[in-house]
């Protein structure tokens, strides 16, 4: 018998006698909870098949390690309602481990597809978890796309025979928002050193929260990330992904009795990230993704089968970005190891209570009896670890550049762009600091600071435009700003048109001290005789002023005074190439890079 479970214009205008069809963009449909449903076909067991099921000898397509005459539980249904995902569940029994189900589906025209083998799902919730629903064993879910008929064959190669077997046909429902998603709407409020990549929220993929029965549970911290694949089809479109998310959610939540989707986040082959388990991506919420090792781990699953197909680079990049962000929140070393304690059960390789040392980024197969995340997915782990480590260290450096050079915190887009470029090697530190220094924002800031320091006011619009134009043409350098402003009539007037006051103002600006009486007399005389430029050149360009600027740069960028030898080393650079060269060399130094790690952990 079967039982069904339910969940929840353009306009015309005339202008000047001409018919005008204005451009009109209808607002995108707003995401909303989508009602999903499951049609269940009872299969019973090999020993007691359900009325619609049969037992035959062997499977239609050979299964490795299974006798061709092994009793096989089968069912065929050609009058089903439309569904898009198939899974097989049974009464929970940890001894059911070697069961394989072969499935094929029928399209709307009545044509049958190829047989696809699915095995016992290797993801599982922790033993003893109260999910608010009966827990059932089962296969991994299989996305089929729109289908109207199904045949299934269940055979057990080893382990216990499952009983109370049910074929679950999931209809993900439809939503106009699926093919018109706007920008991901999850806001990063965790203030991690590494930028949070864009993630589509549960609301955006249409999660119906009324079917979720599990109340979030939280671990003390996050220690590691676990890489998975859904072992599903790779033949999906971008518009189908929200429906796939709803289908997996429905299957995990209702069919398996986990009360929610198992993974913390899912990554599609297009490189898009999707929020999984309820409870907050920035939190330590416990998932149901690696039986025995769900606590203190962040479960990231690649949508598709990466035992048969290489993982696309866009997908791997997204995996790296989300793990880097998560690790920066909890101070996890991507290149290190951690000790996790198994809670046992399910497909776990380790008995409850056993302490296991693992890389902080590991594959599901490292802790479970599974091939997950597939041979191709698992082979990318060294690359992922390396890239995450690079991103985690690059982000604090970028934050330091924003704080020191732009005097502000980075926006998420800027932090992500610069960090990614540094992490993947397309840009080195010198390229980054040069990019900041040649930006319009930085130039505006330095011009403003020079005006305030020398003239006591901000630049007027024409002054700003003139300097920006000359800088872009390469006619002047930022180092010329202050001496040029000091030579202006306005600077002289600021001192009451007094040569003595001019000299004192120069000493304060260049040397941070007042001029002695002899110094005032000498330089006031020089100014009266030949003008301000020689005075400015002599004072601003003096070794005393140069060494002071070296020390100021060290204090500002490195948080310490420059040693005498350092002042002597950099003095010729400042005198010859200018202060900007000193700033560049300091900000590309290893000392600055390492200080950034402690400033922005």
For residues 446 and 467, the answer to whether their CB atoms sit within 8 Å is: no
Interhelix angle for 381-401 vs 412-423, to 10°? Answer: 130
Instruction: Give pLDDT, residue 17.
Output: 38
Q: Is residue 117 part of a domain?
A: no
Q: Is residue 437 part of a domain?
A: no
pLDDT in tens, 211-242: 999 999 999 999 999 999 999 899 999 999 99
How many domains is the chain partitioned into structurally? 1
Q: Is residue 254 part of a domain?
A: yes
Instruction: Give pLDDT, residue 345.
Output: 78
Helices vs. strands in the chain: H and E counts, helices first: 18, 21
Two tokens, residue 482: 């202050």
| % of the chain residues with pLDDT over 90 | 80
Instruction: Give pLDDT, residue 8.
Output: 36
User: What average pLDDT is seen over the chain?
Assistant: 91
Per-residue pLDDT, averaged over 2-30, amounts to 44
* Least confident among 101-105, 180-184, 254-258, 513-517: 180-184
Q: Is residue 363 part of a domain?
A: yes
Tell the burial category of 460 from Cβ atoms under 10 Å away from its Cβ (0-12, 13-18, 19+): exposed
For residues 433 and 584, the answer to whether their CB atoms sit within 8 Å is: yes
Per-residue pLDDT, averaged over 49-54, amounts to 96
Instruction: Enter the DSSP assignment of 165.
Output: E
Q: In 402-445, where do the E strands start and end?
A: none
pTM of model > 0.85: no
pLDDT in tens, 334-357: 999 999 999 987 778 999 999 999
- Predicted confidence band of residue 10 (pLDDT cuts 50, 70, 90): very low
CA–CA separation, 8 vs 210, rounded Å?
7
Instruction: Give pLDDT, residue 26.
Output: 53
Determine which helix (DSSP H) or strand (DSSP E) holds 72, and give its type and residue range: strand 71-77
Per-residue pLDDT, averaged over 409-421, amounts to 92
CATH number at residue 312: 3.40.80.10
Q: Is residue 91 part of a domain?
A: no
Per-residue pLDDT, averaged over 484-503, amounts to 90
Instruction: Give pLDDT, residue 27.
Output: 60
Q: In 120-259, where do the E strands start and end?
A: 136-138, 142-147, 149-156, 165-171, 199-200, 224-229
Per-residue pLDDT, averaged over 109-115, amounts to 95
For residues 482 and 549, the answer to whether their CB atoms sit within 8 Å is: no
CA–CA separation, 563 vs 158, rounded Å?
73
CA–CA separation, 233 vs 252, rounded Å?
17
Whose tokens are 């995340």? That residue is: 373
| Cα three-residue angle 598-600-601, rounded to 5 degrees | 70
- Predicted confidence band of residue 11 (pLDDT cuts 50, 70, 90): very low
CA–CA separation, 531 vs 518, rounded Å?
19
Instruction: Enter the DSSP assignment of 347.
Output: T
297 backbone dihedrals φ, ψ, rounded to 5°: -120, 150
Domain that holds residue 254: 184-381
Q: Is residue 135 part of a domain?
A: no
- Predicted confidence band of residue 178 (pLDDT cuts 50, 70, 90): confident
């Amino acid at each position: 018998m079967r039982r069904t479970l339910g969940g929840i214009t353009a306009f015309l205008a005339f202008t000047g006698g001409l018919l005008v069809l204005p451009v009109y963009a209808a607002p995108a449909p707003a995401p909303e909870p989508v009602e999903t449903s499951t049609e269940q076909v009872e299969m019973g067991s090999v020993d007691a098949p359900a009325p619609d099921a049969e037992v035959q000898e062997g499977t239609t397509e050979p299964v490795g390690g299974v006798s061709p005459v092994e009793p096989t539980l089968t069912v065929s249904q050609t009058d089903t309602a439309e569904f898009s995902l198939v899974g097989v569940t049974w009464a929970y029994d940890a001894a059911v481990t070697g069961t394989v189900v072969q499935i094929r589906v029928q399209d709307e025209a009545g044509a049958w597809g190829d047989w696809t083998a699915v095995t016992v799902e290797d993801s599982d919730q922790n033993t003893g978890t109260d999910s608010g629903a009966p827990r059932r064993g089962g296969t991994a879910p299989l996305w089929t796309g729109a289908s109207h008929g199904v045949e299934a064959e269940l055979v057990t190669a080893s382990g216990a025979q499952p009983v109370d077997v049910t074929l679950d046909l999931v209809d993900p429902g439809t939503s106009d928002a699926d093919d018109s998603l706007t920008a991901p709407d999850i806001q990063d409020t965790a203030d991690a050193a590494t930028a949070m990549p864009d993630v589509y929220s549960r609301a955006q993929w249409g999660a119906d929260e009324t079917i979720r029965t599990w109340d979030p549970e939280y671990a003390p911290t996050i220690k590691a990330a676990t890489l998975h694949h859904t072992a599903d089809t790779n033949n999906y479109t971008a518009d189908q992904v929200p429906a796939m998310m709803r289908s997996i959610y429905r299957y995990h939540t209702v069919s398996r009795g986990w009360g929610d989707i198992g993974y913390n986040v899912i990554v599609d082959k297009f490189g898009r990230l999707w929020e999984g388990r309820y409870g907050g991506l920035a939190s330590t919420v416990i998932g149901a993704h690696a039986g025995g090792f769900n606590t203190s781990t962040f479960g990231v699953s690649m949508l598709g089968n990466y035992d048969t197909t290489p993982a696309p680079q866009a997908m791997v990049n997204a995996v790296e970005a989300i793990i880097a962000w998560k690790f920066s929140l909890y101070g996890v070393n991507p290149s290190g190891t951690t000790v996790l304690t198994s809670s046992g059960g399910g497909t776990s390789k380790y008995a409850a209570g056993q302490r296991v040392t693992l890389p902080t980024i590991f594959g599901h197969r490292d802790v479970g009896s599974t091939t997950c995340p597939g041979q191709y997915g698992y082979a990318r782990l060294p690359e992922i670890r390396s890239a995450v480590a690079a991103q985690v260290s690059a982000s604090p450096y970028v934050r330091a550049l924003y704080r020191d050079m732009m005097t502000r915190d980075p926006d998420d887009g800027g932090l992500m762009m610069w960090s990614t470029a540094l992490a993947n090697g397309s840009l080195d530190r010198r390229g980054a600091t040069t990019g900041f220094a040649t930006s319009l924002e930085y130039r505006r800031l330095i011009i403003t600071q020079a005006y305030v320091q020398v003239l006591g006011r901000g630049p007027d619009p024409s002054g700003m435009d003139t300097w920006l134009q000359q800088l872009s043409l390469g006619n002047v350098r930022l180092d010329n700003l202050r001496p040029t402003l000091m030579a202006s009539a306005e600077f002289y007037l600021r001192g009451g048109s007094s040569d003595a006051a001019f000299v004192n103002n120069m000493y304060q600006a260049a040397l941070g001290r007042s001029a002695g009486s002899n110094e005032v007399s000498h330089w006031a005389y020089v100014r009266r005789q030949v003008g301000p430029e020689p005075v400015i050149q002599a004072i601003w360009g003096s070794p005393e002023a140069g060494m002071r600027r070296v020390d100021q740069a060290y204090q500002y960028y490195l948080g310490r005074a420059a040693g005498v030898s350092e002042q002597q080393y950099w003095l010729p650079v400042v005198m010859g190439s200018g202060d900007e060269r000193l700033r560049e060399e300091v900000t590309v130094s290893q000392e600055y890079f390492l200080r950034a790690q402690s400033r922005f952990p």
